[in-house]
Chains A and B, each alone.
Chain A
Amino acid sequence: MPQIQLTLNGSPATVDYEPHHRLLDTLRYGLALTGTKEGCGEGECGACTVLIDGRPANSCLVPTYQARGCDVRTVESIPAETLRPLLESGATQCGACTPGVVVTSAWVRSNPELIETHTLRQLMAGNLCRCTGYDGIIDGVQQGLDMDAESRGAKP
């Protein structure tokens, strides 16, 4: 089977692929990184969101071969403590959308300049959630941003 090389969650990786493989399936079934979920399979729900070269993407719509040489980060690489504001704000209920929400939320927190041009609802619009009604998710991302700003301000 042909192979590609990529950086996966910060470490070099070599993975087998077939031309018809989706990155989502390679992650879940080839690499046992099952945190990334399949929801709709059509690029709408965002449950399969991963970061490719620092940008969120729906891994259900990414051919595995396109990840060659890329920096791919999955929900498994997100530090657990960044979940706290999402937990505290009621951003999760059944959990199906949560890994994607966590990845997009981490991306927003890493790129706080985005809120100069986008609302949080726009940035999170690619992650559908049928439980929470979204307010908890938006509150959680905002709390995370506030915490980050506070810790930046606290530094000398």
Chain B
Amino acid sequence: MNADAGTIAMPDTIDEALDAMAANPDLIPVAGATDLFVHWPEHLEAHERSYLDLSHLHELRGITFTEETITLGAGTSYWDVIRDPRFRDELPILVNAARTVGAVQIQTRGTWAGNIANASPAADGVPALMACDATVHLASAARGETTVPLADFYLGYKQMRREPDELITRITLPRRAYDFQYFEKVGARNAQTIAKVGVSMTHAAESGWRIAAASVAPVTLRCRNLEAQLDDEGRPASPDDFESALQADGVAPIDDIRSTAAYRSKVIACIIWHALA
């Protein structure tokens, strides 16, 4: 236990937050806490850490639409997107993804940026954002702002391109006239479930296909080989024809408490194939 055990920093501004992170790189940022606090009392000793509460940082709030870009402040919750008619009209993929996260009580607290930083391979928000070519904006006191495409953000299981002194401040998406948006999550039931397999897909004339897959690898995967196959050849005769592209993309599911590798391999190909019907 260190001297800072079980402390909480509650900054009022992003600058204060970044200074605190620079001074103590062990600080754990807390946004919605919907993952951090699961079974919290059973792990109190492990939680005797130093935290940085982001929930009252007004600078992280807000959603803006400009001609070319949509910006989600890092404090944007799922519910903020669900209730924003601009997303219902323009990016229903994000609304559909948000509506599968837990239930309303989670959607009102959990944030898109927290979903990114939590780095679960079974995330629901991350694949939907990835299929929209999201960019992650990070800030640090020492180096100012940097950006990383979400599709390049993950390096391995729970490994990401965020330095300990960096905070996600916002997420940006290019505005596109998508002619296809698709989100599917296969779980044990509709509400309150974690994905056995997740697929997010978009298509626009300017960008071609974007496909992101969840729960089939140690990270949320962008499936570039499959995108290229679809761009070049369109929908194949059978879902089996996706196999080599998906393998090249790193789809390598495992058996765990929620599903099996065999089921996941079969289902991801079938979902994509049916989505294209």
A binding-site residues for B, Cβ under 8 Å: 18-20, 22, 25, 41-44, 46, 49, 52, 55-58, 60-63, 65-66, 68-69, 104, 117, 122-123, 125-128
Nearest chain A CB to B122 CB, angstrom units = 15
Complex: how many Å from CA A58 to CA B38? 11
B39 within 8 A of A: yes
Interchain pairs with CB closer than 8 A, number: 97
Q: How far is the CA of A31 from the CA of B32 in the complex (A)?
A: 23
Which applies to chain B's interface (DSSP): helix, strand, loop or mixed? loop
Whether A126 and B191, one on each chain, are in contact in the complex, defined by CB atoms closer than 8 angstroms, is yes
Taking a contact as CB atoms closer than 8 A, the residue among A22, A56, A63, A117 that contacts B108 in the complex is: A56
The reply to whether the CB of B105 lies closer than 8 angstroms to some CB of chain A is yes
**Bound Cα distance from A123 to B109, whole angstroms:** 15
Pick 10 A–B contacts, CB within 8 A, sort by A: A20-B44, A20-B47, A41-B38, A43-B105, A44-B192, A56-B108, A58-B106, A62-B33, A66-B53, A126-B191
Check if B105 sits within 8 Å of A22, measured CB to CB.
no
Asked whether B37 lies within 8 Å of A57 as measured between CB atoms, the reply is no
Interface flag for B111 (CB, 8 Å): no
Cβ-neighbour of A19 out of B6, B39, B55 (below 8 A): B6
A61–B34 contact, CB under 8 A?
yes
Instruction: List the interface of chain B (C-beta within 8 A of A).
Output: 6-8, 10, 30, 32-34, 37-42, 44, 47-48, 51, 53, 55-56, 79, 82, 88, 99, 102-106, 108-109, 190-192
| B104 and A18 contacting across the interface, CB-CB below 8 Å | no
Q: Is the CB of B7 within 8 A of A57?
A: no
Are the C-beta atoms of A126 and B79 separated by less than 8 Å? no
Docked Cα-Cα span, A111 to B105, in Å, equals 15
Chain A residues, CB < 8 A from B105: 43, 46, 49, 56-58, 104, 126
Nearest 10 Cβ contacts at the A-B interface: A126-B103, A125-B191, A55-B108, A19-B8, A61-B37, A126-B105, A125-B103, A42-B38, A58-B105, A66-B55
- Please indicate the chain B residues that have their CB under 8 angstroms from the CB of A19 in the complex: 6-8, 51
